[in-house]
A and B are shown apart, each in its own frame.
Chain A
Amino acid sequence: DIQMTQSPSSLSASVGDRVTITCRAGQTIRTYLNWYQQKPGKAPKLLIYDASSLQSGVPSRFSGGGSGTDFTLTISSLQPEDFATYYCQQSHSTPYTFGQGTKLEIK
């Protein structure tokens, strides 16, 4: 199984801040890396796919990058609605493992 490791596990930031979350795969996954946002009591929502492609309807302040084993999710200017938990997921091979999540909290 491909292990996915996210960092940090939690992050405190303010509205307007730029934040970056990293995700590392245990082996190369090319660009088969997706990012999801989850708010309490809700299902996850797809933000970024194929490492850097923005899902339709997702604000352009979200961006993704990386390939191989190291990936990033960046929010350029935090908005109040962005405070949530973020997960990376590899879809290179089953099991489609998730990272442990990064909880983004208001400072």
Chain B
Amino acid sequence: EVQLVESGGGLVQPGGSLRLTCTASGFTFRSYEMNWVRQAPGKGLEWVSYINNSGGTMTHYAESVRGRFTTSRDNAKNSLYLQMNSLRAEDTAVYYCARVSDYGDCPVLDYWGQGILVAVSS
């Protein structure tokens, strides 16, 4: 069974840092691209970042987090990370990790974690 479990969330002050971890099981983690998606309280889904499979040498970011957030992966530990620096109140959200699969050449987010809350407040 495919499982994605996020951890590392919590309350942080503005300007602070936090690292989220997504631990994968039930599939060959190194073979899949991964995304982070977030959802502010009462708001819609916002795509945050992408990392390619294998060595994780390619990453892409939403403009809202570029330069502050870094996505990485450790395939030996079946883990995906989101390092968040210079956090702002508007980064408050539930953060989801999601697996990317190619369904007939169309990338889809076919499995999602349960989400983890990050709250940025003084």
Interface of A toward B, CB cutoff 8 Å: 1, 31-32, 34, 36, 38, 43-46, 49-50, 53, 55, 85, 87, 89, 91, 94-101
Per-position 1/0 for B61-105, Cβ under 8 A of A: 111000000000000000000000000000000001000000111
Are A96 and B106 CB-contacts (below 8 A) given A43-B114, A43-B115? no
Residue in B61, B62, B108 whose Cβ sees the most chain A Cβ within 10 Å: B108
Q: Which residues of B contact A96 (CB under 8 A)?
A: 35, 47, 50, 107, 109
Contact B60 A94 (CB under 8 A): yes
| B interface residue numbers (CB < 8 A to A) | 35, 37, 44-47, 50, 60-63, 96, 103-110, 112-115
Q: Which residues of A contact B44 (CB under 8 A)?
A: 85, 87, 98-101
A6 to B108 alpha-carbon distance, docked (Å): 19
Task: Give bound CA distance, A46 to B45, whole Å.
Answer: 13
Given A43-B115, A44-B112, A95-B60, residue A53 in contact with residue B104 (CB < 8 A): yes
Q: Are B46 and A98 in contact (CB under 8 A)?
A: yes
Q: Do A87 and B45 form a contact, CB below 8 Å, given A46-B110, A53-B104, A94-B60? A: yes
